[in-house]
Structure 1
Amino acid sequence: MLCGATNQSIDVVRGRLIPGTYLIENFKTLVDMQNLGLAMFNSFRNAIVITVVTLLICSIAGYGFEIYHDKGKDILMSILLLAMMLPFVAIMIPLFKMFTSWKLVNTWIALALPSISTPFMIMLFRQAARSFPHDIIEAARLEGLSEIQIFFRMFIPVMKSTYGAAMTVTFMNAWNNYLWPTIILQDSKAITMPMLVANLKSGYSVDYGMLMLGVLVCTLPTAIIFLCLQKSFANGITGAVK
């Protein structure tokens, strides 16, 4: 991909694996043919906002399921986990019909709502809450802290690694999401990077050098996020708490 982004299309087709000198030309062609700046802005805005809201909602849900658990919540959690077995394509059409009836098609709410609360994220935070010392909660209650203060001032700082892992997964999923934005966002001004890359393959001929550069630009943010948070990601997945 790196070498292809610096070569002409014919060189990519021939399988050349040596870096070329056509990077600037490919970038100019990409900017001229597609609205790269708008796609990057939309993707960053969607991914960042969805990540923040998802972490907040799912962490509160997972914390509540574990700290205040009872038999009823255990049954509800089991039902939520069953939803993990449903592929998105199975609920895609009902979701679209539902948002159409609510007149929310081509809105940011319709884009984000199916993604901000997922069974996997709730399960991840619930498993992390199991390792959260209950003695700290009791001590905080004796000190007069409310339940909300305990969550924000005690739980979140202790669970930094879990939040790092959840942020990595959520950001990558939100950034790489293609199918649902293509369906629900029908305005060309709402284009995202995966949609832009898909547009590069349309037509009778494909400029593979420009295509490789587009894929490279689309890949860099998620790669940087993962490399920066890989330690927290590993600790969060294994449930490590310091």
Structure 2
Amino acid sequence: MISARANRLLPTAAQYVVLGIAAFLSIFPFIWMVISSSNTSIDIIKGKVSFGSAFATNVANFFTQVNVPLVFWNSFKVAILATILTIVVSSLAGYGFEMFKSKWRDRIYSVVLLTLMVPFAALMIPLFILMGRLGLINTHVAIMLPTIASAFIIFYFRQATKAFPTELRDAAKVDGLKEWQIFLYIYMPVMRSTYAAALVIVFMTNWNNYLWPLIVLQSNETKTITLVVSSLASAYYPDFGVVMIGTILATLPTLFVFFVMQRQFVQGMLGSVK
């Protein structure tokens, strides 16, 4: 009996050990970042893994070197506006691709999915030329425009819409509701967990966006937090304590959004429809 019980417990214990190691490896960079934020740049270079006494100095230096309110305003403006526009456009597209049938629907949808295979490196120069001709270089609009119609989010909403009860749409049509009313008053409330998951994904993507803003934004007044932290790290004599403070501050909004909406995020990723 003891051996049988041990045979059942060993696989479970092995799973916990593997998961514990994976969790530690995942969270260790953030722990090291927090520890390093309290050390001097020299101690960080040496690989010190214990708390130091330079945290207040690093915070003061960061706020001295960076216009924090302006930088975070730029980041929040870009992330929030781009997230709202992306979710609205992509959810409408996903709803339309699933609900409206035509002989061209699947062909157009296939073309949309094919754009996922095009690397962004191949699009940078054409996009930059386009934004230049539109006079949008060094503006936040240039960052948001290429992200609004997201092929992945359109795909995500269409797949989630497959679980939407069509009886609700039919009943709403019988009651005389127009299509936009069905979408606004029935589809969106029913699919709220899907919207929550999409919001987390899109907000994190836009907040952490680095390469395209680096190409488009050319003045310090328009830069986002990711560009500022990168510029601090690429200085001739970088102060890594200040870089760690900037990285922590840049990470906090995404952590807040995820932990506040993690329940809805999990439901949306599992395809929960209420």
Tell me how far apart the structure 1 counterparts of residues 243 and 142 of structure 2 sit (CA, whole Å).
Answer: 29
In the TM superposition, what is the alpha-carbon distance from 1:17 to its structure 2 partner? 1.9
Q: What do the CA deviations read for 1:127-166 (whole angstroms, capped 9, x no partner)? A: 1111111110011111111111110100011111111111
Answering whether residue 162 of structure 2 is matched by residue 130 of structure 1, we say yes
Moved over 6 A (4+): none
Give the greater-gyration-radius structure (CA). Answer: 2
In the TM superposition, what is the alpha-carbon distance from 1:114 to its structure 2 partner? 0.1
Answering whether residue 249 of structure 2 is matched by residue 217 of structure 1, we say yes
Answering whether residue 81 of structure 2 is matched by residue 49 of structure 1, we say yes
Q: Corresponding residue for 2:39?
A: 7
Tell me how far apart the structure 2 counterparts of residues 165 and 70 of structure 1 sit (CA, whole Å).
Answer: 29
Tell me how far apart the structure 2 counterparts of residues 187 and 14 of structure 1 sit (CA, whole Å).
Answer: 34
Tell me how far apart the structure 2 counterparts of residues 223 and 43 of structure 1 sit (CA, whole Å).
Answer: 15
Tell me how far apart the structure 2 counterparts of residues 157 and 120 of structure 1 sit (CA, whole Å).
Answer: 22
Structure 1 gaps of 5+ residues are none
Tell me how far apart the structure 2 counterparts of residues 214 and 188 of structure 1 sit (CA, whole Å).
Answer: 16
In the TM superposition, what is the alpha-carbon distance from 1:108 to its structure 2 partner? 2.5
Q: Corresponding residue for 1:92?
A: 124
**Which letter maps to 1:186?**
Q
Give the share of equivalent positions with the same residue, in percent. Answer: 42
Answering whether residue 240 of structure 2 is matched by residue 208 of structure 1, we say yes
What SS does the corresponding residue of 1:200 show, helix, strand or coil?
helix
**Which letter maps to 2:112?**
L
Structure 2 gaps of 5+ residues are 1-32
In the TM superposition, what is the alpha-carbon distance from 1:8 to its structure 2 partner? 1.4
Answering whether residue 105 of structure 2 is matched by residue 62 of structure 1, we say no
Q: What do the CA deviations read for 1:86-124 (whole angstroms, capped 9, x no partner)? A: 111111100111111222212232211000111100011
In the superposition, the TM-score normalised over structure 1's length comes to 0.96
Residue of structure 1 aligned with 2:108, choices 69, 76, 94 = 76
Residue of structure 2 aligned with 1:168, choices 200, 213, 216 = 200
The answer (yes or no) to whether the contact 2:139–2:222 under 8 Å persists in 1 is no
**Which letter maps to 1:132?**
F
**Structure ranking higher on relative contact order (CA contacts 8 Å, 6+ apart):** 1
Tell me how far apart the structure 2 counterparts of residues 198 and 185 of structure 1 sit (CA, whole Å).
Answer: 13
In the TM superposition, what is the alpha-carbon distance from 1:203 to its structure 2 partner? 2.7
In the TM superposition, what is the alpha-carbon distance from 1:71 to its structure 2 partner? 2.6
Residue of structure 2 aligned with 1:20, choices 52, 55, 58 = 52
RMSD: 1.1
What SS does the corresponding residue of 2:233 show, helix, strand or coil?
coil
In the TM superposition, what is the alpha-carbon distance from 1:63 to its structure 2 partner? 0.3
Tell me how far apart the structure 1 counterparts of residues 95 and 88 of structure 2 sit (CA, whole Å).
Answer: 11
What SS does the corresponding residue of 1:161 show, helix, strand or coil?
helix
Tell me how far apart the structure 1 counterparts of residues 51 and 227 of structure 2 sit (CA, whole Å).
Answer: 27
Q: Corresponding residue for 1:142?
A: 174
Tell me how far apart the structure 2 counterparts of residues 70 and 129 of structure 1 sit (CA, whole Å).
Answer: 17
Tell me how far apart the structure 2 counterparts of residues 169 and 194 of structure 1 sit (CA, whole Å).
Answer: 17
In the TM superposition, what is the alpha-carbon distance from 1:37 to its structure 2 partner? 1.8
Answering whether residue 211 of structure 2 is matched by residue 179 of structure 1, we say yes
